[in-house]
Amino acid sequence: MTRSLQAVAYRRPSVLESAAGGRRLALETSAGLTPVGAEAHPRFFAGFLTAPQIAAAGLLAVADVAVARYYQRQLPASLDPVVTGNGDRLRFESFSGCGGVYARLDVLEGGLDGGAVGHGTTNVDVNNPLRDALSRLGGDDPLHLRVGPEELAVTTLDGPVVEKKVPLPDRWLRGFAEAQVVAAGFDLRAELPAAEAVRFLRALPRGSGRGGSGGPLWVVPAGRGLRPTTRAVSGAVCLPGPDRLVALQRVLRHATALRVYGPAVAAGGTVAAMASAWEVVLPGMRLTLTLSPDVSRGFSGEGGVLEALATDEAAADAELLSVLLAWEPRVDVADLAAASGLTVERVRAALVRLGTSGRVGYDTAEAAYFHRELPYDASRVERHNPRLRSARALVAAGAVALDGATGTVTAEDGHIHRVRDEAGVLTCSCLWWAKYRGGRGPCKHALAVRMARRGTVAELIGTGIDGGAR
């Protein structure tokens, strides 16, 4: 696995401290991007939390995921959560070290009081002493929240006094990109009231972190709750690795509802495990965990971004849309299409492309993208995607031959693979396709055929000839 070291520097450690009239939670920021460009320590908010205990529990849940590995647990992980100011809300995000769980706490307008929310994205320091202090937070005393440094701290300190260097694996970066693509295909499948939500989550089996031989667990709406099933019946939602929802326990006593999201499941037949999202609704906030299809299978291998990465058209469209995003908390696809002059389909493909560099996320509760700029070099997602690299190498080597709807690819080992277009889906004779049947994105041979076909069309258009290839 390719890794680099991510240096995260703070002016001082984040603290929870006593202050006049209550307590103060000071969250320190690292370098990040804002509407005016890069800032060493941006400031996004200074005001009060309307539900201090709930916000503390939600932040701890996000931090729990950031330091967790739900697969191969003996290898600890640690990466400070990401915070985004979207003008009307604060979003705290993290990803598990194993790459299979994405967590986000949305502190909405109703959860904040007395201060304007800025715009931008950066890391936020959540250290062990702060975690201990937040876990002991009690009572109803006012809690002042500051996200970013005080002006005095900036002018009196020379350079950072806290610096962390943590591994930043490419698999983790690709997972952040894939998770938003997967979530964009979800719909709301069930909503449970508070009592049913608590009952269901507390009854989930434990100790299944490495999966079992009995296949994935599914749940289906039943009355006001959910009931487990071993089959993927119509309307069911997959719950892969139930103990990966353990971080939700932090906020259960404050929950007002539980919402469950997943892709459509048709009745009958064998259905492979699927990803799903689990959202606890809180007063003025939402805490969402998105789970990969299997405990041992991180989001990085899902392949949902490959089609968008393989086309130069999406790259150009993404550059155009990037200047229109404006740190919006809710990106409307139709509005972007109207503003850019692109079709809705091209806007969606461009948003997928932007997601691969961390520039947009997806909010299942609002069924909409949102703008953020992750504070690391996520362009490595494209450069270090093995299937994409292999497909480009095959095209460059002249290994692809096109014949109408069929393509023939001569692999590096000399084997010949036939790629066919079946109702817009490229199938392949290779072992990858036989194993996954498109469930983890296209294989390198199908990607190579898609690239070659697009290249042929572009060449014909450039000469004024319509080759008819689509």
| pLDDT tens, residue by residue, 157-169 | 455 667 887 767 6
**How is residue 25 written in tokens?**
């939670």
| Count of residues making up the chain | 470
If asked whether residues 153 and 18 sit together in one domain, one would say: yes
Whether residue 64 has pLDDT greater than 90? yes
* Of residues 240, 246, 220, the one with CA closest to residue 292: 240
As a whole number, the mean pLDDT across the chain is 83
Q: What is the pLDDT of residue 42?
A: 93
Q: Are residues 40 and 159 in the same domain?
A: yes
Of 327, 362, 381, which residue constitutes the final position of a domain? 381
Is 288 contained in some domain?
A: yes
Residue 309 confidence class, pLDDT cut points 50, 70, 90: low
> Which range has highest mean pLDDT (127-136, 276-285, 349-358, 374-383)?
276-285
In a domain, 470, yes or no: no
Q: Which residues contact 24 (CB under 8 A, 6 or more apart)?
A: 16, 17, 18, 143, 144, 145, 146
Lowest mean pLDDT among 2-16, 47-61, 270-284: 2-16
- In the predicted model, is pLDDT for residue 156 greater than 60? no
Domain stop point among 364, 381, 398: 381
Number of structural domains in the chain: 4
Residue at 261 is within a domain: yes
Q: Give Cα 30 distance to the centre of its chain.
A: 20
pLDDT the model gives residue 379: 58
Q: Which residues of 275-295 are buried (b: 16+ CB within 10 A; e: fewer)?
A: bbbbbbbbebbbbbbbbbbbb
Residue 145 belongs to a domain: yes
The tens digit of pLDDT for each residue in 95-105 reads 888 889 999 99
| Residues 41 and 25 reside in one and the same domain | yes
Cα 245 to Cα 247: distance, rounded to the nearest angstrom = 5
Give me the domain span that covers residue 457. 386-462
| Listed ranges 162-176, 179-193, 278-292, 368-382; the one with the highest mean pLDDT | 278-292
Q: In this structure, are 245 and 196 located in the same domain?
A: yes
CATH number at residue 187: 3.10.150
pLDDT score, position 160:
60
Concatenating the DSSP letter of every residue in 220-267 gives EEETTEEEEESS--TT-EEESSGGGGGGGGGGGGG-SEEEEEE----S
Question: For residues 456 and 432, is the Cβ–Cβ distance under 8 A?
Answer: no
pLDDT at 151 over 80: no
342 and 439, same domain (yes or no): no
**Are 10 and 129 found together in one domain?**
yes
Tell whether 58 is covered by a domain: yes
CA dist., res. 348 & res. 342, Å (int):
10
Contact 409, 449 (CB under 8 A): yes
Is the confidence at residue 424, as pLDDT, over 80? no
pLDDT at 21 over 90: no
**pLDDT mean over 208-231:** 75
**Does residue 469 lie within any of the structural domains?**
no
Q: Are 328 and 335 in contact (CB under 8 A)?
A: no
8 Å CB contact between 224 and 192: yes
CA 328 from centroid of its chain's CA atoms: 17
Domain shared by 138 and 9, yes or no: yes
Percent of the chain with pLDDT over 90: 42
| Residue 332 belongs to domain with CATH number | 1.10.10.10
Mean pLDDT of 182-209: 87
Residue 378 has pLDDT above 50, yes or no: yes
Are residue 194 and residue 342 in the same domain, yes or no?
no
Q: Are residues 227 and 283 in the same domain?
A: yes
Q: Residue 468: inside a domain, yes or no?
A: no
For residues 34 and 153, state if they share a domain: yes
Residue 464 has pLDDT above 60, yes or no: no
Q: Which of 25-29, 70-74, 183-187, 381-385 has the lowest mean pLDDT?
A: 381-385
Please give the Cα distance from 159 to 68 (Å, whole number).
Answer: 30
Residue 37 has a pLDDT of 83
Instruction: Give whichever of 45-59, 227-241, 297-311 has the largest mean pLDDT.
Output: 45-59
- Counting beta carbons within 10 angstroms of the beta carbon of residue 174, is it exposed (0 to 12), middle (13 to 18) or buried (19 or more)? buried
Domain boundary among 352, 381, 410: 381
Per-residue confidence (pLDDT) for residue 177, from 0 to 100? 75
Q: Do residues 92 and 86 touch, judged by C-beta distance below 8 A?
A: no
Residues 456, 363 share a domain: no
Task: Give DSSP secondary structure letters for 307-370.
Answer: HHHT-HHHHHHHHHHHTT-TT-SSB-HHHHHHHHT--HHHHHHHHHHHHHTTSEEEETTTTEEE
Predicted confidence at residue 141, as pLDDT, reads 73
Q: Are residues 59 and 122 in the same domain?
A: yes
pLDDT of 315 > 90? The answer is: no
Residue 265 lies in a domain: yes
